[in-house]
Amino acid sequence: MVLLQISEPGRSPDPHHHRRAVGIDLGTTNSLVATVRSGSPVTLANDRGEHLLPSVVRYLSGGVEVGKTALEHAVDDPLNTLISVKRYMGRGVEDIARLGKQLPYELAAGKPGMVRFRTVSGDVSPVQVSAEILRTLAERAEASLGGSLDGAVITVPAYFDDAQRQATKDAAMLAGIKVLRLLSEPTAAAVAYGLDQGDEGVIAVYDLGGGTFDISVLRFSRGIFEVLATGGDSALGGDDLDRCIAEWIADQAGLSTDLAPALQRNLLRVACRAKEQLSESDEVALSVEDWSGRLDREILYSLVDPLIDKTLRACRRTLRDAGVETADVVNVVLVGGSTRMPRIRQQVAAMFAREPLASIDPDRVVAIGAARQADVLVGNKPGDEMLLLDVIPLSLGLETMGGLMEKIIHRNTTIPVSKAQEFTTFRDGQTAMAIHVLQGERELISNCRSLARFELRGIPPMTAGVAKVRVSFQVDADGLLNVSAREVNSGVETGIQVKPSYGLDDGEISRMLQDSFAHAREDMKLRALKEQQVEADRLIEDLAAALTRDGERLLSEAEYHCLEVALSELRKYRQDCEDYRELQRHIESVANASETFAALRMDDAVSRALSGHRLEEFEGRQ
């Protein structure tokens, strides 16, 4: 007899076999790969001892270059050297059309879906470019670990939506990498510090990179890591600190505001170097063109403090979203190269009333956390029960009658999550239902983002309102959405995996959230008006049909005329009225006026049903 060896999913059949798993930080500027060796997470270097891989790909007529070699040609071959493509992951041509003149790339025109760049090797998408970066990191890991990889955890920004996460998974698939999990960057940073092994409590992750700022609030409780809320500013980063210093230098040197590109780059280099030197010194000497001067810490602080204050305001907003106070935060984690600046650490410490964790290189901390999680998921640490939970950045829902957004899963809901809601048909005999999946915080679908559309067909003909269509939303641990619809009485069912061709960046998500707050009162009034308009449409359609069918037979001429006038006035108010309360009063007035007619129709229906039968027949059936 042959015995089959069976092992738990995710566990090695050989308990002594160490599986090769890595964590990958697919960054905008630089990317890294890390693994766990002898129980300790480490980042992996290339054969030159370099850990950071510039996220740059250069396309040649006979191949590609990735990393530092590609970056060296950014100036002399800009059309074929693609930098910071993470910003375009999951984004459509329309989204960046307004940026076209600022991009040193030639966009492929006339192609729907995700943006594509024209190179000497042909048109390439951000997914393909990211795949080249991931493939290079995977090859580095395989060379270092001595064999093919069993899986990887890849990190994504907390703000990445469904389309952007899916684009990241597609890039990994092109690179031949098995994705164990997509993990949000702030969660990975918390894991890197081993906070999952410490005391339970609230953790804040302050992430200031070169171009963006993210703040995430997490809670660790009973072995579960949960992201409570995320926020930030997509238009604020370390580059902005450099620019404000460069502008001060230009002003001191009496330089024109319309500077040549080469001089602008030189000013930024001088500003960045001065910022770094002031981390160790109280004062630095500056020299630009024919001007020489000095910059001290006091002046530096006056320049950068307004920008740092903006990040702290975002922190306070996110804490409010999470429903926690500053005093509830037990640990603060710093991520991003800009957090090396002592002034930032000082201000963050003052706000949270505790020293932030900064002992791990802020450029490597995310990859290290991802490596720890990969080691667990691949089965090398069977006793580790660490569970990481993220949240969705924007609400998910459906379009209902009147163009309204009905939210099924609200923003900042922990994932994975599954929720369902029942809907019904609008018209008698309706055999199909169009389902429109949306994302956003506004009340009208015109202000939300369309994710997908599909149809449920085969609903048995029934009276309006009798059918029960249960629509289920399932968001998995990677933040990917599946929607299904089932008519409860008949069992007919259909569904869709939501895979939009392009998604939202963190700036668009922030804008949508800000718009929802700014227009909250206006949106609620519009929603109420739309709901009353739908109710008016329903009453108008039902009453008109009833009058056509039974009005002349059951009503006197005066009664018939009275209801016709009421119906005509309701149609007029439905079109012209902008006050939902006024429209509601007219709906109630017409409904009350038609009550006698409805009762007559009910009596008539009962009489015709009983016609030709004796009471004894019904008594005998009891």
pLDDT of residue 533: 73
Higher-pLDDT residue of 293, 112:
293
pLDDT of residue 500: 45
Residue type, 128: Q
Q: Which residues contact 208 (CB under 8 A, 6 or more apart)?
A: 237, 238, 311, 335, 336, 338, 339, 344
Higher-pLDDT residue of 504, 596:
596
328 has catalytic annotation: no
pLDDT of residue 95: 60
pLDDT band (50, 70, 90) for residue 469: confident
User: In the chain, what percentage of residues exceed pLDDT 90?
Assistant: 24
pLDDT band (50, 70, 90) for residue 411: confident
86 has catalytic annotation: yes
Higher-pLDDT residue of 286, 450:
286
Report the mean per-residue pLDDT for the chain: 80
pLDDT band (50, 70, 90) for residue 570: confident
Q: Return d(Cα 590, Cα 622) in angstroms, integer.
A: 40
pLDDT of residue 234: 67
Q: Which of 132, 196, 207, 506 is catalytic?
A: 207
Second-level CATH architecture of 521-610: Up-down Bundle (1.20)
pLDDT band (50, 70, 90) for residue 550: confident
511: pLDDT strictly greater than 60? no
CATH for 228-359, options being 3.40.50.720, 3.90.640.10, 1.10.510.10, 3.30.1510.10: 3.90.640.10
242 has catalytic annotation: no
Average pLDDT over residues 8-34: 73
Q: Which of 65, 185, 441, 531 is catalytic?
A: 185
Q: Which of 65, 86, 162, 170 is catalytic?
A: 86
* Tally of CB atoms within 10 A around 553: 10
CA-to-CA separations, 266 to 242, 253, 299, 494, in angstroms, rounded: 11, 13, 21, 59
CATH for 392-518, options being 2.60.40.10, 2.60.34.10, 1.10.760.10, 3.40.50.720: 2.60.34.10
Which DSSP symbol is given to 92? Answer: B
Q: What is the pLDDT of residues 327-363, one digit of tens each?
A: 999 999 999 888 999 999 999 999 999 999 999 999 9
> How much is the pTM?
0.60
pLDDT of residue 501: 40
428 has catalytic annotation: no
Q: What is the DSSP string of 152-171?
A: EEEEE-TT--HHHHHHHHHH
Q: Where in the chain is the domain with CATH 1.20.1270.10?
A: 521-610
pLDDT of residue 59: 93
pLDDT band (50, 70, 90) for residue 10: very low
Q: What is the token pair recorded at 182?
A: 């997509």
Q: Which of 121-125, 295-299, 473-477, 606-610 has the lowest mean pLDDT?
A: 606-610
Fold designation for 1-193+363-384: Nucleotidyltransferase; domain 5 (3.30.420)
Average pLDDT over residues 504-508: 49
Q: Where in the chain is the domain with CATH 3.90.640.10?
A: 228-359
